[in-house]
Structure formats: structure tokens, C-alpha cells
Structure 1
Amino acid sequence: MRSYLEFEKPIAELEAKIAELKQLANQGNSDISDDLERLEAKATQQLQATYAKLGAWQKTQVARHQDRPHFADYIAGLVTDYVPLCGDRAFGEDGAISGGLARFRGRAVMVMGHEKGRTTESRLKHNFGMAKPEGYRKAIRLMRMADRFRLPVITLVDTAGAYPGVQAEERGQAEAIARAIDCCLDIRVPLVAAIVGEGGSGGAVALAAANRVLMFEHAIYSVISPEGCAAILWNDGSKAPDAAEALRVTAEDLLKLKVIDEIVKEPLGGAHRNPGQAMTSLGDALEASLRNLVGQEPGALREARRRKFLEMGSNGL
């Protein structure tokens, strides 16, 4: 059963009527075909009109939709021969960041990303995609391994942010994130990142300081969550929609600011409505990016990546 967001209520009503008519049609009622066709056209028009004018807060809701593809889905749909690699070789395994060796469209790669989980059990196992220090240290280990064996790195970002708990701070959360960013900027192989859902704070940047940063059309990417920003600025979580607009979290805003390099189109109604189509679009964008980067001189790849991030904000925007 499809889950609808608050602003999708008119669409939900139309699609409920369509489902009822289809059930009648399956029972042998052939006099409703015209009504069914008319309602389907109306629902498509409503969906197009709604998603053509989404605000920043509405896009935040779409980016967090429970049915959007997760890291495990992308692994199943985009790569083959996936071999997961676990542990940071210092403390333990972190379930919020997964990664390993794989083959992407015939090319050997290192792939990693945030996994939020889908059921209550899996969400707890993966800590809702909020990594602890050992998660970022595992990412560093995998990036260094990729660098050693000259493998391109693909990262898929979908996290509300790094885990903010006391235990994580005691184990050096800030230091682990800083070292992960430093590692991103230091490796000498192609690094392509894709913001596929939420890109929250340093927890996202730790995997996204890449040569090419792709972003799904309805994903978000920001220095802090809208709720966190609203709590700090106004001491009022209900102002999260205002904060979302002020933070300029959308792909369109971030492309103008040159924080990202490319917007990947989503199926009509968001990636959760047609995960297969969304994965194909992302796969094509990743392949094109890698094709342009593979073969470049290692030192040039690293220098271009560093220069790109050092120049952010220097255009006065």
C-alpha cells in the first residue's frame, strides 16, 4: 500500500477512486473504462502540477519518504559481485555506513553509503543511518584500500547527520568526520558522490567531498536539519518549514551555489514511486561521471578535488 505525504492528499483521493474503479472493472463492469481513463489522466496532471512547485519543506518530506530506495536497494539494483567489508580495525562495526567491493557496469569499484533501514528492527540495527566514529573510520579504511588498488570510489549519501550521542563524542566523532573528509580530499582515484535522500551536516560531507557530486531532484543537502536550525534560531521546531527555505537545501539552489555538480531527475512523484527508473537514472549519471574521470592523472584528480572545495563560496553567493 502506497504511503502519501500531507501535501499529496488530493492525489491520494484520486488514486483511491482509480483503485476502486479498477476493482469494479476486474469484476466485469466494462462501462467504466471512460471514467477510469479520465481519472487516471486527472491524477497524472495533479501529480505533475504538485511536484512542479514543491517548496523546500515539501522536498524535505519527499527526501525522507519511507519508501525511497535505500543503500541496500541500490546495491541490489546497480552493482554486481558485491563483497561487503566490515569494521574499522580499531573499535568495531558500524551499521549506519555499509560498503565493499563491487562491479558497476563492468567496472571494479569501491562503493559505500548510509543505510537507514526500513523495518523497526533494521532501523535500530543501522542506527537510522546516523554513523558513529567507527563508521567514518571504516569509510576511511575502504577509501584507502581503493586508493591502494586504483579503484574508483562511489558513495551514496542518505543521512540526517552523524550520531550525536555521548558515546560517539567520547570516541572522537568530530575527529573521525574530519579525517574522513581529509581522506576524501587526499585519495588519488576518482571519487563520485550521490546525495540520494538526506545529506545532513558533516555526517554527509564526510562521504561527499568528491570530484563529482550528484544529487537527486528531490533530495536535500544542508549544514543542519531544518528542525535543528529552527530550534537554534527560534527555539521553535514548528518553524522548520521556514528554516528549510532559508537553508537553501534543494538541488536547484545547491547547483546555483556550485555545491553540487549535477541534478539527477527522479520519476514523476519521486524516486519512491518508481525505484527502478530512479536507479537507472542514477546509474547513467554515475557511469557518465566515472567515464570522464577514469584515466585522468592521479595527482590531477586530487588537486582538482581540493581546489573545487577550497573555491566554494568564493563567488560571493
Structure 2
Amino acid sequence: MKSSRLLSILLLLQTRGRMTAGQLAGELEVSVRTVYRDVEALHAAGVPLYGDAGHRGGYQLLAGYRTRLTGLTGGEAEALFLSGVPGPAAELGLGPALAAAQLKVTAALPPPLRAQADRIRSRFHLQAPGWYAEEDPVPHLERVADAVWHSKVLRVRYRRWKEPTDVDRRLEPYGLVLKAGRWYAVAAPGPRTYRVDQILELTVTDERFEPPEDFDLAAHWRRYEADFLSRLHKGEAVVRLSPAAAGRLTGAAARALAATGEPEPGGWTRATLPVESLEQAHAAFLAMGAEAEVLGPPELRERLAATAAALAAVYGAG
């Protein structure tokens, strides 16, 4: 709706400052011509909005102008209270601030929306980590977050998976990402990604840094995830799966089963599945027990056979 788009333009300019017509069009997913028309409509409504031409031009609001948050719909109010995840906020030291902010927003809502927000909080609770993922202590998280916020250089002792495992690093932390219950710091040089729970020692220095103006944390993380996933499944295993084992597959394995699966007698299926490594595949197929038979590669089949023989020796073949 046009009225919603006009409010969005106001809020974008209020929060981000100067923006070009192209940037506004990209944010709102409309044409630049539509942005021009919307800006004219705001002018006609008396909004103190002006534009500058040239390389560094764009639209911006007159200094000091603020618009009140109005027109909040029921769906927007529900989404607002679903988006507040108290666990991560508390880990960052922002638990009281989040509670205070939600209280202020609740008080500002009209009674019907206030009732909907209260109902949402009473019916839905969001928790990112899975049942079997233990929550690792992250003792340095608050200090890393403070360094991100104030653009301060960190000196850390970091534990990585390859030798030498414990290394010293000078980091310029650009941002923090919470993924599946685990915190990651994106930091220069690079930038590279570091698990915050693997920081053994940390010193916040007085040295300041400036992140690149064009650095976008969300866009960087999307590229990082895509690259990670492209490197994740480098191998393949040819397997026979019982109906029970086939039904437990998820993600890339389930998609590969659907694409390559060939029915066999007895309801079993022969398929080629992606695997991350010999160790990961050994653990995954061992967990399936007699519901899966690995046909190749030979080294994986031989390792599973050796493990099965060792288990038979422990528990007794008879």
C-alpha cells in the first residue's frame, strides 16, 4: 500500500540519514520512478524532505525532524514481540534494556494491539539451540560485544582446530553473529570468522579502528555460509538404506536420496549420498546400525566393518 510505503520512506530516512532514490527503491522493492512520486507526495503533505543532486546527493529529512511511530498493525505488533529473544540479549548484557524497551513499546500500543502482544508472549517461546546441543560458556562475549560497539581492537589467545591450536591474534571486530545457539565474531584482518567460545584470553585495547564503509555484516555472513556449504560435502558414499533409515535422512542427504535413489527388493533403496569426511560418515552410518549398508568407498566400508567386528568382540558374537 502507498501509505505504508510513504511511512517506510520516512522511517528509513529518519534512521539512516541521506539515501539516494536508487537505495530507497532497492529497500522498498519498487522502481526509482515510484520513489520520485512518493517523495512528491511527502512534499505535498508538508514533510520537510529535501534532495541534493550530484555524486554525494540523495534525500534527507530536515535536521531535527522526527516522526512518531504510528499505524502499527496487529501483524507488526506480533512480529515485534516474537523478534525479542531474551536469551541472546541477556548473554550480551542487554537483558534489562530489552525488557525496558518492550515495556515502553507495550505501553505505547493501543489496547487491542497490547492484548495481542501479551498473547503472543504467553503462547510462543523461541529458543535457537537444539536439545542435544549443550550451551557452551562464552565468558568473553560481553567484552567482545563492547569492542564491536566502540570499534576497539582486541588482542586474543584463540584456540583453533589445527596445529598449532593456541594462537595469538590482533582482531578488529566488525560484528557478532548468533548461529544455532553459537556466537561468532567477524573480524579483520580478512575479515575472518572466530567462535567466541574459543577465545581463551582477551584484552580490549585503547586502539580504535574504523570498519569499511561498505561492509555489510548480513551480506558477509550470507557469503560465508554459502562458501562453507560449498566446501562441506566434498565426498560421496554409495549406500543401501532400509525404509526406516531412509525416513530419518534430512537436508542434503534427503535431497540426494530423492535424486539418486533406486528401489531394491524388500523396500530398501540404493543411493549416492554426500558426506563431509570419512570420520563424519563413519559416525553417521554407524548410528544407523543394520538399517544401512555402505557399498563404497572401500575405505569407509572397511572402517565400518572393523568397528562392527570390534563391537562383536566386546559384546560376544553369540
Fold shared, TM-score > 0.5 on shorter chain: no
TM-score scaled by length of structure 2: 0.22
Relative contact order higher in (CA < 8 Å, ≥ 6 apart): 1
